[in-house]
């Protein structure tokens, strides 16, 4: 056979094989693929959009942890960081240090996910790690983010405007505070308009502190023993103390049957420092 003809036939065969491979690889994007893409954790979006599940889980080291060598502790902690990396497309994990700020706990996770089952999988795998065997779970809170219910643009335009325009101008926050809240049956049996009056007073008492305190609310009724999880970040703990004093003195406070119990205070650290401190 003419060598040029043979070469042409070979090229055609190779081209056909490539076409078949590409047809297999370049399958149409399915709804499942689109959903997987949507679950990727864009931090700015996940922390601002409604419909996101939040889990706060608090831990205390078992005495056996301190019997391990420093190299063993460092190795175990780095494995947890690898686990966080493994789940980064579906779960956003933040770690806070509480050791030294209270006798109950040493650290806590704040976990966000669009699917609660994804967060559950991460926590289950965390408990299966070497480090998971050396911690006691002290508390777990579960909630979900929702749009504003009371202070909306349509119902209270002026107050909504003040709320929307309030901007955090303080230093980079150093502390995180988690406060679970449960309302009484009397609160839930008020009419919506009566609750709106109370929430107007609540919001007015917080506006002056929004420049120095960040706040995020999670709804927990039916998901947890609490009704709400309030999460704060600040570098000004005096301002935070003043804020909570202000909230304690308004009529809405009489409808609380749980306010804290516990209040969890932790420091916000970068990943590298978290690793070092957790391993100490």
Q: Does residue 215 carry a catalytic annotation?
A: yes
Which secondary structure element, helix H or strand E, spans residue 232, and what is its range? strand 228-234
User: Hey, what long-range contacts does 60-69 have (CB within 8 A, 24 or more apart)?
Assistant: 60/104, 60/105, 60/106, 60/135, 60/136, 60/138, 61/106, 61/134, 61/135, 61/136, 62/134, 62/135, 62/136, 64/134, 65/134, 65/135, 68/134
Instruction: List Cα–Cα distances, 155 to 99, 191, 193, 204, 226, in angstroms.
Output: 43, 15, 10, 15, 27
How far, in Å, CA of 106 to CA of 280, rounded? 12
Cα separation, 76 vs 70, in Å, equals 10
The active-site residue out of 79, 155, 174, 215 is 215
Catalytic center residues = 215
């Amino acid at each position: 056979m003419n060598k040029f003809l043979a070469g042409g036939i070979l090229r055609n065969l190779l081209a056909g094989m490539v076409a078949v491979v590409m047809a297999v690889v370049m399958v149409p994007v399915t709804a499942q693929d689109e959903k997987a893409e949507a679950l990727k954790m864009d931090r700015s979006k996940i922390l601002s959009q409604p419909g996101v599940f939040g889990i706060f889980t608090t831990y205390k080291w078992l005495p056996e942890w301190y019997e391990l060598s420093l190299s063993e502790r460092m190795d175990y902690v780095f494995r947890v960081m690898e686990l966080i990396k493994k789940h980064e497309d579906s779960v956003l994990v933040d770690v806070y240090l509480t050791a030294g700020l209270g006798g109950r706990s040493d650290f806590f996770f704040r976990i966000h996910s669009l699917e609660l089952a994804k967060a559950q999988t991460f926590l289950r795998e965390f408990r299966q790690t070497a480090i998971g065997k050396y911690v006691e779970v002290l508390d777990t809170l579960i909630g979900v983010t929702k749009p504003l219910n009371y202070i909306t643009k349509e119902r209270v335009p002026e107050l909504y405007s003040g709320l929307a325009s309030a901007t955090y101008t303080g230093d980079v926050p150093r502390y995180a505070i988690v406060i679970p809240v449960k309302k009484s049956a009397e609160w839930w049996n008020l009419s919506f308009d009566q609750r709106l009056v109370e929430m107007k007073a609540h919001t007015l008492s917080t506006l002056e502190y929004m420049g120095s305190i960040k706040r995020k609310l999670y709804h927990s009724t039916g998901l947890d023993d609490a009704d709400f999880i309030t999460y704060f970040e600040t570098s000004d703990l005096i301002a935070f103390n003043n804020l909570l004093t202000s909230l304690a003195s308004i009529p809405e406070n009489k409808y609380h049957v749980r306010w804290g119990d516990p209040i969890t205070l932790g420091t916000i650290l970068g990943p590298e420092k978290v690793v070092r401190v957790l391993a100490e």
